A and B are shown apart, each in its own frame.
Chain A
Amino acid sequence: MSARTRILPALVALAAVAAVLPAGAQQPATVKLGIVSFLTGPAASPFGIPGRNGAEIVIEALNAGKAPPPFDKVGFGGSKVEAKYVDEAGSAANVVTEFRNLVQRDQVDAVVGYVSSGSCLAVTPVAEELKALTVFYDCGTPRIFEEKPRRYVFRVSPHATMDNVAAARYVLAKKKNITSYSGINQNYAWGQDSWRDFEGAMKVLAPKATADKVLFPKLFAGEYGAEISTLLTSKSQILHTSFYDGDLESFIFQEQARGLDKRMTIIMTTGETAIWRLKDKMPDGTIIGARGANGPLARDTEINRWFQKIYTDRYNTPPTYPAYQMAQSLLGLKLAYEKAAAAGGKPNADAVAAAFTGLEFTGPAGHVKMALGEGHQGITETAYGTYKFNKQTKMPEIVDIVRFPAECVNPPPGIDADKWIAGGMKGAKC
């Protein structure tokens, strides 16, 4: 009997065995994800790259089955995850085109991404039109789920209202007798919404305090000499800012050279993204937010220690909040996918969306409850703390941390964030 005649019956037998095996025993199909984040431009360094890195490291761990329970099943429900990384930089039209490419040309199973609120607002109607499962990871505008109910769009990370309501609560808890406050925020939706929510919360919580200097310099202005002079002439005790990336760091360098932080306490709602880079250049006493209980504000849990370790080992710097938000988004999507897949076969977008709606889980940044936007918008607890540079270890520290329950700083379901604040934040459970 020749080798060829011996192999032939073996191949036939193998094919017969494969044919009678149940579908579940076959090699699972790959789950394709589009990961969109700023890879170039001013928002790349503080947000886009940490977000992308967070995706890379979590997907690697999931594919290796090395994430802690309940995320320890390989990939998504046994299927390896294949990621395609796309740059968010460019106009809204460009962002939408890239989104369509991911969904229609690359046939991804879901898109996870977007830092800019403008990108999220532009992508939302297209995602609904294409019935494409989409998870926003970082953008903060509350409008996504307040304008109308969504079916295929989700956001695990809480929206920006939480950041500013919690900022006001922290300031008033730590600093008594505030009579005047000022704000410097970028002149576009993010900055204006952040100030609106902070000022609104201050009016409710400290009605006798008044806003003095309200400044909205151009986005990426870079030069803040006149703004700092204006603030130096103010009698405000605190300064609120939602500045981020290069604007935040430029402002810190310029205000420190002129001693503004010695005159008033600065509260930075996104300050955590800068502390590992600035170290002793971040003024001691600055109130630091991380858009949730992320980074050094996260609780010391097993899953948080795991995430911190794999991220720091790979990138030689601790994960900042965009990395946490990306991790939370991917882990939420994984659970929803696996819940939908439990019915058998590869779930479609409708099945995953149904499983995602109202989901609850605990990730590195704590417990997420998809409570708002008819189960599409997550809420979590949040925390603020005060910055201190440890001269012995030469490392940043956040001290005096105060935690705020999710229901204390987020509006209840069914009410818009601005109306909730204007109405006196009724129903807040603090």
Chain B
Amino acid sequence: MLTAFAIFADGLVYAAYLFIVAIGLTLIFGVMKILNVTHGSFYAFGAYGAATAVGIYANAGWPAALGFLFMLAFGMAIGLVMGVILERGLLRLVYGRDEVIVVLVTYATFLILEDVIVLIWGAQSYAAYQPMVAAGNIEIGDLILSNYDLVLVALAAGLAALAYWALKYTRYGRLLTTVIFDRETAAAFGINVTVVYTATFILGAMLGALGGAVMAPKISVTLGIGVEVIVLAFAVVAIGGMGSIEGALVGALIVGICRAAAVHLVPQIELFVIYGVMALVLVVRPYGLFVRARPRKI
């Protein structure tokens, strides 16, 4: 019983982490059809920004309760700036080019930004554990859970609900859905696709940075953290269906629960299980679980 509960709790926490890092990636792909490798850089910059913010906040001696929000705001502000610079300064120049070229551009940007991190923050690692320590823990039977992890789960659930509401019930959400469905038709109906692209990319960048910012207190913020994340985020998005937010949520839950079960029951297959699940899903549904029906163009 304890093991079953532990698998459920660990699965939820891991799924929350995966969903937060994958939602921005799938949003950008859904709207812009760009497989954005730079998403790993948004995550890394968000984490470094959050670590910097925690340092500033701790030194200033401000009330601990607001530290978490300051950290998130700082991280997302970095995502905002990066999103504007990259979309306006680079990506708009390659719109309409072959998808492979756009992927290569984002990959090259990712590599350049790894070196930019060294230039800004140096090669040393940073710690931002204060918010996680301040959150404390809760004991359930033999298991001790971190309250910070529970905050992560709540944040992921909130993000999922917000995304659902925004897409279904707001004007921008409906415009976005139209562009996701068919860009040319949306443009023909007078939607300013360029503005939608810019706004979406900036939002995706901020979400990527948010992922890094919320994870910063749990990890050592060090060079290369974006590499691991981008691989995991791609796996989740591939399972759920490229461009589908509900797919990212379900994909994250499947991967999270399967991985937690593997660690508890058969730790030898932990490394394999994420990609095993992805392969299994893609065999049955080659475009992922929640891929949209595509209009046939004549």
Q: Which residues of A contact B (CB under 8 A)?
A: 39-42, 44-46, 48-49, 187, 213-218, 220-223, 225-227, 229-230, 232-233, 245-250, 253-254, 256-260, 277-278, 281
Give the segment of B126-134, B278-286, B288-296 that binds chain A: B126-134
User: Interface with A: B55-63, B69-77, B211-219, B241-249, which one?
Assistant: B211-219
Closest CB-CB distance, B189 to chain A, in whole Å?
43
Given A230-B263, A254-B218, A42:B6 Cβ within 8 A = no
One digit per residue, 1 when the CB lies within 8 angstroms of any chain A CB and 0 when it does not, for chain B 1-25 equals: 0110011011101100100000000
Q: A49-B123, A221-B228, A246-B125 are in contact. Are A226 and B259 (CB under 8 A)?
A: yes
**B142–A232 contact, CB under 8 A?**
yes
Q: Are A253 and B270 neighbours in the complex by a CB distance under 8 Å? A: no
Pick the contact of B146: A215, A220, A248, A258 (CB < 8 A).
Answer: A258
Interface residues of B in 237-260 (CB under 8 A from A): 259-260
Contacts of B11 in A (CB 8 A): 226
Asked whether, in the complex, the Cβ of A250 is within 8 Å of the Cβ of B142, the reply is no
**CB of B225 within 8 Å of the partner chain:** yes
Q: When the two chains form their complex, are residues A226 and B218 in contact, meaning their CB atoms are under 8 A apart?
A: no
Whether a CB of chain A sits under 8 angstroms from the CB of B224 is yes
Closest to A253 in B: B129
B149: nearest residue on chain A (CB-CB)? A225
Q: Which residues of B contact A48 (CB under 8 A)?
A: 123
Residues of B within 8 A of A233 (CB): 2-3, 6, 142-143
B interface residues, Cβ below 8 angstroms from A: 2-3, 6-7, 9-11, 13-14, 17, 114-115, 118, 123-125, 127, 129, 132-133, 135, 137, 142-146, 148-149, 215, 217-225, 227-229, 259-260, 263-264, 267-268, 270-271
| Bound-complex Cα distance A49 to B222 (A) | 13
Question: Which residues from chain A contact B270 at a C-beta distance below 8 Å?
Answer: 187, 215-218
Number of A-B contacts (CB under 8 A): 143
Known interface pairs A216-B267, A281-B127. Does A253 touch B132 (Cβ–Cβ under 8 Å)? Answer: yes
Kindly provide the distance from the CB of A279 to the nearest chain B CB, expressed in whole angstroms.
Answer: 10
Bound Cα distance from A226 to B18, whole angstroms: 14
Quick check: B115 and A40 within 8 Å, CB to CB?
yes
Residues of B within 8 A of A49 (CB): 123-124
A220 and B224 contact, Cβ closer than 8 Å, known pairs A40-B114, A230-B264:
yes
Most buried by B among A40, A45, A214, A222: A222
Known A40-B223, A223-B14, A258-B145: A249·B137 in contact at CB below 8 Å:
no
18 further interface pairs, Cβ-Cβ under 8 Å (given A45-B223, A46-B125, A230-B263): A42-B222, A42-B224, A45-B124, A215-B267, A216-B270, A223-B14, A226-B14, A230-B264, A233-B3, A233-B6, A245-B125, A246-B224, A250-B218, A254-B146, A256-B129, A256-B133, A257-B146, A258-B146
Q: Give chain B residues whose Cβ lies under 8 Å from the Cβ of A281.
A: 127, 129
Q: How far is the CB of A180 from chain B (nearest CB, A)?
A: 15
Please name all residues of chain A whose beta carbon is closer than 8 Å to the beta carbon of B222 when the two chains form the complex: 42, 45, 245-246, 249
- Which 7 pairs, one residue from A and one from B, show the smallest C-beta to C-beta distance? A249-B220, A226-B263, A246-B220, A226-B10, A246-B222, A257-B146, A42-B224
Interchain residue pairs with CB less than 8 A apart (11)? A45-B125, A222-B229, A223-B14, A223-B17, A233-B2, A253-B219, A254-B132, A258-B145, A259-B144, A277-B125, A278-B127
* Bound CA–CA A227/B7 (angstroms): 10
Complex CA distance for A275 and B133, rounded to whole angstroms:
18
With the chains together, A233 CA to B145 CA distance in Å?
A: 12
Distance A46 CA – B223 CA, assembled complex (angstroms)? 11
Closest chain-B Cβ to A115's Cβ sits at a distance in Å of 13
| B146 proximity list for chain A (CB < 8 A) | 254, 257-258
Contact call B144/A41, Cβ cutoff below 8 A: no
Are A222 and B228 touching (Cβ within 8 A)?
yes
Give the CA-CA distance A217 to B271 in the complex, in Å: 7
On whether the beta carbons of A225 and B14 are closer than 8 Å, the reply is yes
Closest to B270 in A: A217
Give A338 to B225 CA distance when docked, in angstroms: 44
Given the complex of chains A and B, what is the CA–CA distance between A123 and B199 in angstroms? 48
Chain A residue with Cβ nearest B229: A222
* Shortest CB distance B274–A (Å): 9
Contact at B123–A40, with CB atoms within 8 Å? yes
State in angstroms the CA–CA spacing of A56 and B118 once bound together. Answer: 20
Complex Cα gap A260–B149 (Å): 15
| C-alpha spacing A355/B66, complex, angstroms | 64
Give Cα A40–Cα B123 distance, bound, in whole angstroms: 6
User: How many Å lie between the Cα of A63 and that of B100 in the bound state?
Assistant: 52
Q: Are A257 and B137 in contact (CB under 8 A)?
A: yes
User: Which residue of the partner chain, among B10, B115, B132, contacts A229 with CB atoms under 8 Å?
Assistant: B10
B263 near A257 with CB under 8 A, answer no
B266 to chain A, nearest CB (A): 11
Taking the closest CB of chain A, its distance from the CB of B228, in whole angstroms, is: 5
Nearest-Cβ distance from residue B57 to partner chain A, whole angstroms? 17
- Measured CB to CB, the nearest residue on chain A to B219 is A250
Given contact pairs A216-B270, A259-B137, A249 touches B127 in the complex (Cβ within 8 A): yes
| CB proximity of A159 to chain B, nearest CB, Å | 25
**Residues on A with beta carbons closer than 8 Å to the beta carbon of B7:** 226
List the A side residues contacting B123 at CB < 8 Å. 39-40, 44-45, 48-49
